[in-house]
Structures are given as structure tokens and as C-alpha cells.
Amino acid sequence: MKQLEFIAGRLVKAVIVLLGIVILAFLLIRATPGDPAAVLAGEAGAVDAEFMQRVRAEFGLDRPMAEQLAIYVKQIATLQFGESYRQQRPVLDLITERLPATLLLTLSAFGIALLVGVSLGVTAARHVGRWPDMAITVAALVFFAVPLFWIGLMAILLFSVKLPWLPAFGMETVGADYDGIDALLDTIRHLILPATTLGLFYIAIYVRMTRASVIEVMDLDFVRTARAKGIPEGRIWRRHILRNALLPIVTLASIQAGNLVGGAVLTETVFAWPGIGRLAFDALLQRDYNLLLAVFIVTSALVILFNLIADLVYALVDPRIEVGA
């Protein structure tokens, strides 16, 4: 009951937040120079005022800004995201086509980051001040500091060009028409480079967070109590140190799970991954307002959703927190 009330409350807040995002995104996009009419006209090679006027009238871009916003909000309220100016298809179709690819990429990257980052962080903490700690900390710092796209390009150079082990771009081998298990393996081969690249940046964050958290918990009183009780070291690490040290990681991870979708734009562009990030990138270049706004709204909704899940998970792993209390 309490949980349901809590979730209902959060959903109400989510709607308010989304409305704010819609309005803000709408105004931001309109504030950028250029509009779809100009882009279309430019591509058609017919930059005359009459053509542009016609396009603007067709999309309703000639009306006052406030009116456009009101119309748009009303449409969104009834879940009508409209059509892409450019591709002449419903925006929602375009997004649902691309979303699975993005989710596959980001969740793989996220999984890698979490697994590798936390393991390395714990290893560093267990050897604090000695060489494994130094090596891990320095490596994490390097990957944190180097730009994502550069790592991506270098990875392509090394593993696709110099050593032809992995495909450099796309999600599947064009024209191969694999079936079943072969198709799956093909996708995995395509996934390795972009997912690892995207993951590397986040690994660094998890290494540092986990290391700091474990070092802090290691010295807490209840760990000393456990030792005084004669609990074996293995169990002290599993039940007392790690379980407590990972609580802040849960928070961080669930907040980042939402942001990963946005963070994938660069990676998807570098690796020509057919995901929502690429879609947004192209939509921005083409001033495809409806599509761009819809991508904003969907990714924002995902962030909000992940945050809600985070709160519920947190209440599950930490008995001191009661959902709704």
C-alpha cells in the first residue's frame, strides 16, 4: 500500500517534470538558428521565399511561438508525437525501431562497467597503497580523462584496421543475412567495440567510487565487531564490507543507467550504431523538430523511470530506508 502510494506520487511528479522538459526543449530548439524549412529548401536547391513559406505553413511553423507550444503540448498529452518532417513517418515508429539497438548497447556497456569497475575497485581497496591499487587507480584515471570518441577511434584503428578482429561499424554484417545463432554471434561481434568503449569511461567512475566506499567501510566499527566474533575473513568481506560498501554504488548506478542513453550519442556516431543517439544527432542537423523533441521526451522518461527503480531497489537493499516513510 505504502509502496503503491509512493510510486503513484512519483509518477505524478514525473509528469510534471516531463512537462517542464517538453517546454524547455521546445523553446531551446526554437532558439537555435535555422529551421526545417531552411534545411529542406537548401537540400532541394530551391531557396526561394515562396517555397519556404509553403513548407512553414505546412508544418505550422508560421504561427506564433506560444500557439505552436500550446498545440504541441496538447498533442503530447494525447501521446501524439507527430511525424518526422524529414522522413515523413510517425516519430514514434522511428524511435521504437531504434530504441532496442540503443538499449542493447547501453545496457551491455553498463553491465561491463559495473562488473569490471566494482571488481577492480574492490581489488584496489584490498591492496590499498600497494602496486595493484596504484595500477588500477592510474588506469582508471587515464580512461576517465581521455575523450570517449578518441578511445573509440583508437579502438577501431587497433582492432579493426591493424588487427582485423572485429567489425568497425554497424550492428550487423551488411548482406550476410545470418540466421539464428549466427545472427546473434554477428551482433555480439559488432557490439564488443562500442560497448567496451562506452563502458571504459564508466568503469573508471565505478573503480573510484567502489575503492573509496570499500576503504571507508573497512574501518567501520561493525567490521571490527565481526572480527571480534571470530567470523571468517571471507564472510566478513561478503556480508559486512561489500554489502555496505555497495549501497552508494547502487544509487550511482541507477542514476547513471538513465544517463547512459544520452551518453551513447557519441559512441553511436563513431561506430555508426543504428540507435537512438544517431537518430537524435541526425534530427538535430536537420532541425527535425518533432523527432528531436520526441527523442528528448523518451530519453527523459527513461531517466525518470530508472531513478524510480533506483529508489525502489535502494529500499530493498537498505532496511533503514522505507519506501514512502
Partner 1 sequence: MTDTLLDIRDLRIALPAGADRPYAVDGVSLTLRRDEILCIVGESGSGKSLLANAVMGLLPGAVRIAGGSLHFDGTDLARLDPEAYRKLRGRRIAMIFQEPMTALNPIMTVGEQIDELLVAHGMTDKASRRRRVIDLLAATELPEPELLYHAYPFRLSGGQRQRVMIAAALALEPDILIADEPTTALDVTTQKQILTLIRDLQARRRIAVLFITHDFGVVAEIAHRVAVMQWGKVVEEGAAADVLVRPHHPYTQRLVAAVHGLSARPELAAHAAEPLLEVVGLSKTFRTSQGLFVRRRREVHALRQVSLTIHRGETVGLVGESGSGKTTLGHAIVRLVDTDAGEIRFRGADILAQGGARLRATRARIQMVFQDPFASLNPRHSVGRILTETPRIHGVGKAEAETRARRLLELVGLDASAFGRYPHEFSGGQRQRIGIARALALEPELIVADEPVSALDVSVQGQVLDLLADIRKRLGLAMLFITHDLRVAAQVCDTIAVMRRGELVEIGPAAEVFGKPRHDYTRRLLASVPGAGWTDRPGTRLTAG
Site residues (vs partner 1, CB under 8 A)? 5-6, 8-9, 12, 220-222, 224-233, 235, 239-240, 243-244, 247, 317-320, 324-325
CA distance readout (Å), 192 to 19, 159, 171, 253, 325: 37, 10, 10, 21, 43
| Range list of β-strands (E), 125-259 | none
Nearest to partner 1 of 162, 229 (CB atom) = 229
Nearest to partner 1 of 18, 223 (CB atom) = 223
Nearest to partner 1 of 79, 228 (CB atom) = 228
- First and final CA of the chain: distance in angstroms? 12
| Distance of closest approach, residue 12 Cβ to partner 1, in angstroms | 7
| Distance of closest approach, residue 25 Cβ to partner 1, in angstroms | 26
| Distance of closest approach, residue 175 Cβ to partner 1, in angstroms | 54
| Distance of closest approach, residue 117 Cβ to partner 1, in angstroms | 22
DSSP letter for each residue of 144-193: HHS-HHHHHHHHHIIIIIISTTS--SSSS-TTT---HHHHHHHHHHHHHH
Nearest to partner 1 of 52, 236 (CB atom) = 236
Nearest to partner 1 of 89, 224 (CB atom) = 224
| Distance of closest approach, residue 21 Cβ to partner 1, in angstroms | 21
> What does DSSP assign to residue 163?
S
| Distance of closest approach, residue 91 Cβ to partner 1, in angstroms | 32
Rounded Cα gap, residues 227 and 246, in angstroms? 20
Do 37 and 61 contact (CB within 8 A), yes or no? Answer: yes
Rounded Cα gap, residues 135 and 317, in angstroms? 31
Q: What angle do CA 161, 167, 173 make, to 5 degrees?
A: 140
